Protein backbone atom coordinates (compact mmCIF):
# COMPACT_ATOMS: atom_id res chain seq x y z
CA UNK A 1 0.00 0.00 0.00
CA UNK A 2 1.21 3.47 -0.86
CA UNK A 3 0.09 5.86 1.86
CA UNK A 4 0.18 9.66 2.13
CA UNK A 5 0.22 11.23 5.57
CA UNK A 6 -0.96 14.82 5.31
CA UNK A 7 1.09 16.68 7.90
CA UNK A 8 2.89 20.01 8.06
CA UNK A 9 5.54 18.68 10.46
CA UNK A 10 7.27 15.41 9.47
CA UNK A 11 9.21 15.35 12.76
CA UNK A 12 6.16 15.52 15.02
CA UNK A 13 5.63 12.47 17.24
CA UNK A 14 2.28 11.59 15.65
CA UNK A 15 3.65 11.84 12.11
CA UNK A 16 6.81 9.83 12.76
CA UNK A 17 4.84 7.13 14.59
CA UNK A 18 2.43 6.74 11.67
CA UNK A 19 5.32 6.46 9.20
CA UNK A 20 7.04 3.95 11.47
CA UNK A 21 3.89 1.84 11.91
CA UNK A 22 3.21 1.86 8.17
CA UNK A 23 6.74 0.78 7.29
CA UNK A 24 6.66 -1.98 9.91
CA UNK A 25 3.68 -3.42 8.07
CA UNK A 26 5.46 -3.27 4.73
CA UNK A 27 3.86 -0.13 3.32
CA UNK A 28 5.34 2.93 1.65
CA UNK A 29 4.51 6.06 3.66
CA UNK A 30 5.04 9.57 2.26
CA UNK A 31 4.60 12.72 4.35
CA UNK A 32 2.89 15.45 2.32
CA UNK A 33 2.61 19.05 3.54
CA UNK A 34 -0.96 19.86 2.53
CA UNK A 35 -0.31 23.61 2.51
CA UNK A 36 2.22 23.09 -0.29
CA UNK A 37 -0.23 21.20 -2.48
CA UNK A 38 -1.61 22.87 -5.61
CA UNK A 39 -5.04 21.66 -6.65
CA UNK A 40 -5.76 21.27 -10.36
CA UNK A 41 -9.40 21.20 -11.39
CA UNK A 42 -10.34 19.96 -14.83
CA UNK A 43 -13.39 18.16 -16.18
CA UNK A 44 -13.09 14.58 -15.01
CA UNK A 45 -9.39 14.97 -14.15
CA UNK A 46 -8.82 16.35 -10.63
CA UNK A 47 -5.15 16.43 -9.70
CA UNK A 48 -2.68 17.53 -7.02
CA UNK A 49 0.78 18.99 -7.72
CA UNK A 50 3.31 18.74 -4.88
CA UNK A 51 6.90 19.97 -5.15
CA UNK A 52 6.54 20.12 -8.91
CA UNK A 53 5.29 16.56 -9.24
CA UNK A 54 1.79 15.16 -9.70
CA UNK A 55 0.70 13.01 -6.75
CA UNK A 56 -0.33 9.65 -8.17
CA UNK A 57 -0.59 6.01 -7.20
CA UNK A 58 -1.73 6.47 -3.60
CA UNK A 59 -4.06 3.88 -2.11
CA UNK A 60 -5.06 5.90 0.96
CA UNK A 61 -4.34 9.04 2.99
CA UNK A 62 -4.30 9.83 6.70
CA UNK A 63 -5.13 13.52 7.23
CA UNK A 64 -3.42 15.33 10.11
CA UNK A 65 -5.03 18.74 9.53
CA UNK A 66 -4.33 21.49 12.06
CA UNK A 67 -7.23 23.66 13.21
CA UNK A 68 -5.63 26.85 11.85
CA UNK A 69 -5.57 25.47 8.29
CA UNK A 70 -8.86 23.59 8.25
CA UNK A 71 -10.17 25.28 5.09
CA UNK A 72 -7.22 24.50 2.83
CA UNK A 73 -6.43 21.19 4.47
CA UNK A 74 -9.97 19.95 3.88
CA UNK A 75 -9.80 21.16 0.28
CA UNK A 76 -6.75 18.92 -0.23
CA UNK A 77 -8.49 15.96 1.43
CA UNK A 78 -11.53 16.59 -0.77
CA UNK A 79 -9.30 16.60 -3.86
CA UNK A 80 -7.92 13.17 -2.92
CA UNK A 81 -11.50 11.98 -2.46
CA UNK A 82 -12.32 13.22 -5.96
CA UNK A 83 -9.32 11.22 -7.20
CA UNK A 84 -10.90 8.08 -5.66
CA UNK A 85 -8.23 7.79 -2.96
CA UNK A 86 -9.50 6.41 0.34
CA UNK A 87 -9.14 8.64 3.40
CA UNK A 88 -9.00 7.61 7.06
CA UNK A 89 -10.97 10.75 7.94
CA UNK A 90 -13.37 12.29 5.43
CA UNK A 91 -13.18 15.99 4.61
CA UNK A 92 -16.78 16.73 5.58
CA UNK A 93 -16.33 15.02 8.95
CA UNK A 94 -13.30 17.21 9.68
CA UNK A 95 -15.33 20.33 8.85
CA UNK A 96 -18.15 19.23 11.17
CA UNK A 97 -15.82 18.51 14.08
CA UNK A 98 -13.92 21.80 13.77
CA UNK A 99 -17.00 23.98 14.17
CA UNK A 100 -17.69 23.68 17.90
CA UNK A 101 -21.24 25.00 17.65
CA UNK A 102 -22.18 22.87 14.66
CA UNK A 103 -20.62 19.74 16.18
CA UNK A 104 -22.52 20.24 19.43
CA UNK A 105 -25.76 20.69 17.53
CA UNK A 106 -25.10 17.38 15.77
CA UNK A 107 -24.21 15.65 19.05
CA UNK A 108 -27.32 17.04 20.73
CA UNK A 109 -29.49 15.75 17.89
CA UNK A 110 -27.86 12.31 18.21
CA UNK A 111 -28.64 12.12 21.93
CA UNK A 112 -25.07 12.47 23.19
CA UNK A 113 -24.71 13.68 26.79
CA UNK A 114 -22.99 17.06 27.08
CA UNK A 115 -22.71 20.06 29.40
CA UNK A 116 -25.53 22.59 29.04
CA UNK A 117 -24.41 24.98 26.32
CA UNK A 118 -25.67 28.35 25.09
CA UNK A 119 -24.83 30.60 22.16
CA UNK A 120 -25.97 34.11 21.27
CA UNK A 121 -24.93 37.07 19.15
CA UNK A 122 -26.54 39.63 21.45
CA UNK A 123 -24.69 41.05 24.45
CA UNK A 124 -27.86 42.40 26.06
CA UNK A 125 -29.07 38.82 26.61
CA UNK A 126 -25.95 37.69 28.49
CA UNK A 127 -27.53 37.43 31.99
CA UNK A 128 -30.27 35.16 30.62
CA UNK A 129 -27.70 33.01 28.80
CA UNK A 130 -25.70 32.50 31.99
CA UNK A 131 -28.84 31.35 33.78
CA UNK A 132 -29.74 29.01 30.91
CA UNK A 133 -26.59 26.95 31.60
CA UNK A 134 -27.18 26.83 35.36
CA UNK A 135 -25.61 30.08 36.54
CA UNK A 136 -22.05 30.91 37.58
CA UNK A 137 -19.43 29.62 37.53
CA UNK A 138 -19.46 29.04 33.76
CA UNK A 139 -16.99 28.08 31.05
CA UNK A 140 -16.62 30.48 28.10
CA UNK A 141 -15.04 29.11 24.91
CA UNK A 142 -13.98 30.65 21.65
CA UNK A 143 -15.47 28.62 18.80
CA UNK A 144 -12.08 28.61 17.05
CA UNK A 145 -9.99 27.77 20.14
CA UNK A 146 -7.82 24.62 20.34
CA UNK A 147 -5.66 22.84 22.94
CA UNK A 148 -7.29 24.75 25.78
CA UNK A 149 -6.56 28.19 24.29
CA UNK A 150 -9.51 30.59 24.30
CA UNK A 151 -11.18 28.85 27.26
CA UNK A 152 -12.07 30.95 30.32
CA UNK A 153 -13.53 30.00 33.70
CA UNK A 154 -15.75 32.81 35.02
CA UNK A 155 -16.31 32.34 38.75
CA UNK A 156 -19.17 34.82 39.11
CA UNK A 157 -22.06 36.07 36.97
CA UNK A 158 -20.50 39.55 36.94
CA UNK A 159 -17.15 38.19 35.73
CA UNK A 160 -18.91 36.04 33.10
CA UNK A 161 -20.85 39.02 31.78
CA UNK A 162 -17.67 41.10 31.52
CA UNK A 163 -15.79 38.38 29.62
CA UNK A 164 -18.70 37.65 27.26
CA UNK A 165 -19.25 41.32 26.49
CA UNK A 166 -15.52 41.76 25.84
CA UNK A 167 -15.51 38.87 23.37
CA UNK A 168 -18.63 40.23 21.66
CA UNK A 169 -17.03 43.66 21.32
CA UNK A 170 -14.09 41.94 19.58
CA UNK A 171 -16.58 40.21 17.24
CA UNK A 172 -15.38 36.84 18.55
CA UNK A 173 -17.85 33.97 18.47
CA UNK A 174 -18.18 32.08 21.74
CA UNK A 175 -20.24 29.45 23.52
CA UNK A 176 -21.04 29.36 27.22
CA UNK A 177 -21.14 26.04 29.08
CA UNK A 178 -22.04 24.92 32.57
CA UNK A 179 -19.13 24.22 34.89
CA UNK A 180 -18.98 20.59 36.05
CA UNK A 181 -17.45 20.96 39.50
CA UNK A 182 -17.29 17.24 40.27
CA UNK A 183 -14.84 16.64 37.40
CA UNK A 184 -12.18 18.40 39.55
CA UNK A 185 -10.03 19.58 36.65
CA UNK A 186 -9.88 16.17 34.98
CA UNK A 187 -11.35 14.71 31.82
CA UNK A 188 -11.24 11.48 29.82
CA UNK A 189 -9.79 11.09 26.33
CA UNK A 190 -11.13 8.07 24.43
CA UNK A 191 -9.28 7.26 21.22
CA UNK A 192 -11.63 5.74 18.65
CA UNK A 193 -10.56 3.98 15.44
CA UNK A 194 -13.06 2.37 13.07
CA UNK A 195 -15.89 2.26 15.58
CA UNK A 196 -13.79 0.85 18.43
CA UNK A 197 -12.25 2.46 21.50
CA UNK A 198 -8.59 1.43 21.12
CA UNK A 199 -7.23 3.36 24.10
CA UNK A 200 -8.25 5.74 26.86
CA UNK A 201 -6.55 7.99 29.39
CA UNK A 202 -7.52 10.31 32.20
CA UNK A 203 -6.07 13.79 31.87
CA UNK A 204 -5.58 15.77 35.07
CA UNK A 205 -4.91 19.50 35.03
CA UNK A 206 -1.98 20.81 37.04
CA UNK A 207 -2.60 22.37 40.44
CA UNK A 208 -4.93 25.37 40.19
CA UNK A 209 -5.73 24.71 36.50
CA UNK A 210 -9.27 23.81 35.41
CA UNK A 211 -8.10 22.81 31.90
CA UNK A 212 -6.73 19.27 31.62
CA UNK A 213 -5.08 19.61 28.18
CA UNK A 214 -1.61 18.07 28.04
CA UNK A 215 -0.45 21.19 26.15
CA UNK A 216 -1.40 23.21 29.25
CA UNK A 217 0.75 21.11 31.57
CA UNK A 218 -1.78 18.38 32.36
CA UNK A 219 -0.80 14.73 32.86
CA UNK A 220 -2.26 11.60 31.31
CA UNK A 221 -2.72 8.19 32.96
CA UNK A 222 -4.21 4.91 31.81
CA UNK A 223 -7.90 4.49 32.63
CA UNK A 224 -10.54 1.84 32.04
CA UNK A 225 -13.73 3.34 30.68
CA UNK A 226 -17.15 2.34 31.92
CA UNK A 227 -19.68 0.90 29.51
CA UNK A 228 -21.51 4.24 29.47
CA UNK A 229 -18.31 6.17 28.70
CA UNK A 230 -17.42 3.85 25.82
CA UNK A 231 -20.96 4.13 24.44
CA UNK A 232 -20.83 7.95 24.62
CA UNK A 233 -17.48 8.07 22.79
CA UNK A 234 -18.68 5.74 20.03
CA UNK A 235 -22.01 7.54 19.59
CA UNK A 236 -20.28 10.93 19.35
CA UNK A 237 -17.77 9.64 16.80
CA UNK A 238 -20.48 8.01 14.70
CA UNK A 239 -22.68 11.12 14.79
CA UNK A 240 -19.86 13.22 13.29
CA UNK A 241 -18.91 10.53 10.77
CA UNK A 242 -15.29 10.23 11.92
CA UNK A 243 -13.19 7.12 11.27
CA UNK A 244 -10.55 8.31 13.75
CA UNK A 245 -11.32 10.55 16.72
CA UNK A 246 -10.24 11.65 20.15
CA UNK A 247 -13.36 12.12 22.29
CA UNK A 248 -12.99 14.32 25.37
CA UNK A 249 -15.50 13.68 28.17
CA UNK A 250 -16.18 14.79 31.72
CA UNK A 251 -17.30 12.44 34.47
CA UNK A 252 -20.40 13.92 36.09
CA UNK A 253 -23.21 12.93 38.44
CA UNK A 254 -25.48 12.41 35.44
CA UNK A 255 -23.01 10.32 33.45
CA UNK A 256 -20.33 11.06 30.85
CA UNK A 257 -20.59 14.46 29.17
CA UNK A 258 -18.83 14.97 25.84
CA UNK A 259 -16.86 18.21 25.57
CA UNK A 260 -15.31 17.89 22.14
CA UNK A 261 -14.51 15.41 19.38
CA UNK A 262 -11.08 15.90 17.82
CA UNK A 263 -10.61 14.76 14.22
CA UNK A 264 -6.77 14.87 14.39
CA UNK A 265 -5.99 13.61 17.91
CA UNK A 266 -2.35 13.48 18.92
CA UNK A 267 -0.70 10.12 19.53
CA UNK A 268 2.05 11.00 21.99
CA UNK A 269 -0.07 11.42 25.10
CA UNK A 270 -2.30 8.40 24.52
CA UNK A 271 0.52 6.03 23.54
CA UNK A 272 2.71 7.03 26.49
CA UNK A 273 -0.17 6.83 28.97
CA UNK A 274 -1.48 3.48 27.76
CA UNK A 275 1.62 1.80 26.32
CA UNK A 276 -0.51 0.79 23.33
CA UNK A 277 0.41 0.89 19.64
CA UNK A 278 -2.35 3.30 18.56
CA UNK A 279 -0.47 4.21 15.37
CA UNK A 280 -0.58 0.55 14.36
CA UNK A 281 -4.37 0.48 14.86
CA UNK A 282 -4.71 3.48 12.53
CA UNK A 283 -2.59 1.78 9.85
CA UNK A 284 -4.66 -1.42 10.17
CA UNK A 285 -7.83 0.63 9.65
CA UNK A 286 -6.31 2.39 6.64
CA UNK A 287 -5.39 -1.01 5.14
CA UNK A 288 -9.02 -2.07 5.39
CA UNK A 289 -10.13 1.14 3.66
CA UNK A 290 -7.70 0.71 0.78
CA UNK A 291 -8.87 -2.86 0.20
CA UNK A 292 -12.51 -1.93 -0.11
CA UNK A 293 -13.95 -2.11 -3.59
CA UNK A 294 -16.94 -0.12 -4.63
CA UNK A 295 -19.99 -2.22 -5.30
CA UNK A 296 -22.19 -1.25 -8.26
CA UNK A 297 -25.27 0.58 -7.09
CA UNK A 298 -28.64 -0.95 -7.83
CA UNK A 299 -30.80 1.04 -10.21
CA UNK A 300 -33.31 3.16 -8.32
CA UNK A 301 -36.49 4.81 -9.42
CA UNK A 302 -36.19 8.58 -9.74
CA UNK A 303 -37.65 10.37 -6.74
CA UNK A 304 -38.05 13.95 -5.65
CA UNK A 305 -34.96 15.09 -3.73
CA UNK A 306 -35.42 15.45 -0.01
CA UNK A 307 -34.96 19.02 1.18
CA UNK A 308 -33.59 19.25 4.71
CA UNK A 309 -33.58 22.27 7.00
CA UNK A 310 -30.20 24.02 7.21
CA UNK A 311 -29.47 22.54 10.63
CA UNK A 312 -29.98 18.98 9.33
CA UNK A 313 -28.19 19.14 5.99
CA UNK A 314 -24.83 17.46 6.52
- The reported pLDDT for the residue numbered 60 is 97
- The reported pLDDT for the residue numbered 294 is 46
What's the mean per-residue pLDDT of the chain?
87
CA–CA–CA angle 170, 173, 179 (5° rounding): 110
Residue spans per domain, the chain: 2-89, 116-179, 182-291
Bigger pLDDT: 35 vs 296: 35
CA 22 to chain centre: 22
Residue 257: pLDDT over 80: yes
The least confident of 1-10, 71-80, 100-109, 215-224 is 215-224
193 burial (CB, 10 Å; 0-12 / 13-18 / 19+) is: buried
Please state which CATH number belongs to domain 182-291.
3.30.470.20
Kindly state the percentage of the chain with pLDDT values over 90.
66
Please state which CATH number belongs to domain 2-89.
3.40.50.20
In this prediction, residues 159-173 reach a mean pLDDT of 87
The residue among 29, 31, 28, 30 whose CA lies nearest residue 7 is: 31
Strands 37-40, 47-50: pairing kind: antiparallel
Residue 210: pLDDT over 60: no
Residue 297 to residue 47: CA distance in whole angstroms: 26
- The reported pLDDT for the residue numbered 213 is 54
CA 61 to chain centre: 17
pTM for this one? 0.85
Going by CATH, does the domain composed of 116-179 fall within 3.30.1490.20? yes
User: How much of the chain is helix, strand and coil, in % rounded to 5?
Assistant: 35, 25, 35
* Residues 79-117: tens digit of each pLDDT: 999 999 999 999 999 999 998 899 999 999 999 999 999
Q: Does residue 191 contact residue 278 with C-beta atoms inside 8 Å?
A: yes
Amino acid sequence: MKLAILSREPKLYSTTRLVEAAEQRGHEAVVVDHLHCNLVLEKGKPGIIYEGQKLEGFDAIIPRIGASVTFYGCAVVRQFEMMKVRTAVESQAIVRSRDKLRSMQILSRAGVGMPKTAFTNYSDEVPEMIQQVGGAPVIIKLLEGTQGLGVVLAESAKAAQSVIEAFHNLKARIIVQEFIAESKGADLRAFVVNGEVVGAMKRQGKEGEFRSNLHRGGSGTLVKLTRAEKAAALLATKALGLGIAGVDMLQSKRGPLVLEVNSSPGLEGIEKATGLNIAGKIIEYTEQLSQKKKRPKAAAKPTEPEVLPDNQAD
